[in-house]
């Protein structure tokens, strides 16, 4: 008997397509506007994973024609210094998007810093004003990872209206905004988390299953409804016995691919979409500001 295997939701390919679209929009408008869009990424300390993410974002900016105003601070930088930098960037006409790369050193308060960012320059879409706009169904900058998931589902013409969607994870970064976006698309949404009783019984009801708990291999084949769409938001670095490290998701891809109809790989699924939507938020802010 032939073994069925899930179709891949290719975030890498879709991200490349979005990059191309943004690049041509910027090229067409830049002469008229007189400057490119600008993104400022603030990084504090020398966390190697953060440094890799920031490099990746800056490369992506260069590819589409967004100017990078990256600032790298010593680990001992104070809260006040960072707040002053954000205040200056809020006023800077060249800068359309601002984001603070997490995690920050322990002595800094990330939430307070986020609150200092002008909501219309909030490239990550995480400011309370933008989350409030999402709750109310109003236009605003959307949280990049869940917005990237929605775009991926749209690209593959996966119907959401009236479907049972389960989001595993309730973080403000992914789980909560993800649930709101699915609700906005007329799905029936359940949010499950580490304290949910009988997680498997909940996930087996899902036509659309979004795993965003940050626990490697949490979702196994027996937890997935046959023919479901499985989106793996997890990004977990694990090290094997011989010291080699690799990136895995929250879903056991190998077993689950035999049950699901569509699945996202890790890496190459949601990750590239997060960066693409970050660039898109910056460009949206740019066009809104210049009124074109």
Same domain? 265 vs 155: yes
| Distance (Å, whole) CA 40 – CA 18 | 20
Same domain? 114 vs 147: no
Cβ–Cβ < 8 Å for 23, 64:
yes
Compute the Cα dihedral for 247, 226, 273, 195 and give only its sign: negative
| Distance (Å, whole) CA 54 – CA 74 | 15
End-to-end CA distance of the chain: 57
Same domain? 150 vs 262: yes
Interior angle at CA 173, CA 96 and CA 224, nearest 5: 135
H-only helix segments in 142-269: 144-155, 175-184, 199-203, 253-256
Same domain? 150 vs 257: yes
Same domain? 148 vs 260: yes
Same domain? 182 vs 106: no
Residue with the two structure tokens 């990256």: 70
On whether residue 243 sits in a domain, the answer given is yes
Question: pLDDT, tens digit, for every residue of 226-274?
Answer: 999 999 999 888 888 888 888 899 999 999 999 999 999 999 999 999 9
On whether residue 182 sits in a domain, the answer given is yes
Q: Is the peptide bond before 138 cis (omega within 30 degrees of 0)?
A: no
| Distance (Å, whole) CA 73 – CA 78 | 10
Per-residue confidence (pLDDT) for residue 243, from 0 to 100: 84
Domain boundary among 84, 103, 118: 118
Q: Which residues are catalytic?
A: 57, 101, 124
CATH code of the domain in which 108 resides = 3.40.50.10860
CATH code of the domain in which 206 resides = 3.40.50.720
Domain boundary among 55, 85, 118: 118
Per-residue confidence (pLDDT) for residue 290, from 0 to 100: 75
Binding-site residues for NADP(+): 169-171
Cβ–Cβ < 8 Å for 230, 266:
no
Burial of 283 (0-12, 13-18, 19+ CB in 10 A): buried
Cβ–Cβ < 8 Å for 121, 37:
no
Same domain? 114 vs 152: no
> In Å, what is the CA distance from 221 to each residue of 211, 213, 224, 235?
13, 17, 5, 19
The residue segments making up the domain with residue 244 are: 143-271
On whether residue 45 sits in a domain, the answer given is yes
| Distance (Å, whole) CA 20 – CA 24 | 6
On whether residue 250 sits in a domain, the answer given is yes
Same domain? 112 vs 190: no
Under DSSP, the state recorded for 138 is: -
On whether residue 288 sits in a domain, the answer given is no
| Distance (Å, whole) CA 18 – CA 279 | 9
Number of domains forming the structure of the chain: 2
On whether residue 246 sits in a domain, the answer given is yes
Per-residue confidence (pLDDT) for residue 50, from 0 to 100: 86
Same domain? 158 vs 260: yes
On whether residue 17 sits in a domain, the answer given is no
Same domain? 93 vs 148: no
Compute the Cα dihedral for 42, 44, 46, 48 and give only its sign: negative
Binding-site residues: 169-171
On whether residue 244 sits in a domain, the answer given is yes
Same domain? 260 vs 196: yes
pTM as predicted: 0.94
Per-residue confidence (pLDDT) for residue 2, from 0 to 100: 46
Cβ–Cβ < 8 Å for 223, 200:
yes
Same domain? 151 vs 99: no
Identify the CA nearest to 274 among candidates 6, 43, 60.
Answer: 60
Collect all residues with Cβ–Cβ distance below 8 Å to 86 and sequence separation of at least 6: 42, 98, 100, 113, 116, 117
Q: Which two tokens stand for residue 206?
A: 């899902």
pLDDT in tens, the chain (292 residues): 445 799 999 999 999 999 999 999 999 998 889 999 999 999 999 888 888 889 999 999 999 999 999 899 999 999 999 999 999 999 999 999 999 999 999 999 999 999 999 999 999 999 999 999 999 999 999 999 999 999 999 999 999 999 999 999 999 999 999 999 999 999 999 999 989 999 999 999 999 999 999 999 999 999 999 999 999 999 888 888 888 888 899 999 999 999 999 999 999 999 999 999 999 999 999 999 877 5
């Amino acid at each position: 008997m032939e073994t069925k295997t899930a179709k891949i939701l290719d975030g890498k390919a879709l991200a490349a397509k979005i990059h191309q679209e943004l690049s041509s929009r910027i090229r067409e408008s830049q002469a008229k506007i007189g400057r490119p869009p600008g993104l400022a990424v603030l990084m504090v300390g020398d966390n190697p994973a953060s440094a890799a993410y920031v490099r990746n974002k800056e490369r992506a900016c260069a590819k589409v024609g967004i100017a990078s105003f990256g600032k790298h601070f010593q680990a001992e930088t104070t809260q006040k210094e960072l707040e002053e930098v954000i205040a200056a960037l809020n006023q800077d006409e060249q800068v359309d998007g601002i984001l603070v790369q997490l995690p920050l050193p322990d002595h800094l308060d990330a939430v307070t810093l986020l609150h200092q960012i002008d909501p219309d320059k909030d490239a990550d879409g995480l400011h309370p004003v933008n989350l409030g706009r999402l709750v109310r169904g109003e236009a605003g900058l959307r949280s990049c990872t869940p917005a990237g998931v929605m775009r991926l589902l749209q690209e593959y013409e996966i119907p959401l209206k009236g479907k049972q969607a389960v989001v595993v994870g309730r973080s403000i970064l992914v789980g909560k905004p993800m649930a709101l976006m699915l609700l906005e698309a007329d799905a029936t949404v359940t949010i499950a988390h580490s304290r949910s009783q009988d997680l498997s019984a909940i996930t087996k009801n899902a036509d659309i299953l979004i795993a965003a708990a940050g626990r490697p291999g949490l979702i196994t084949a027996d937890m997935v409804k046959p023919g479901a769409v499985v989106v793996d938001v997890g990004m977990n670095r694990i090290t094997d016995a011989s010291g080699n490290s690799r990136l895995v998701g929250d879903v056991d891809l190998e077993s689950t691919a035999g049950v699901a109809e569509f699945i996202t790989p890790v890496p190459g699924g949601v990750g590239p979409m997060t960066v693409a939507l970050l660039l898109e938020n910056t460009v949206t802010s740019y066009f809104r500001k210049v009124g074109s």
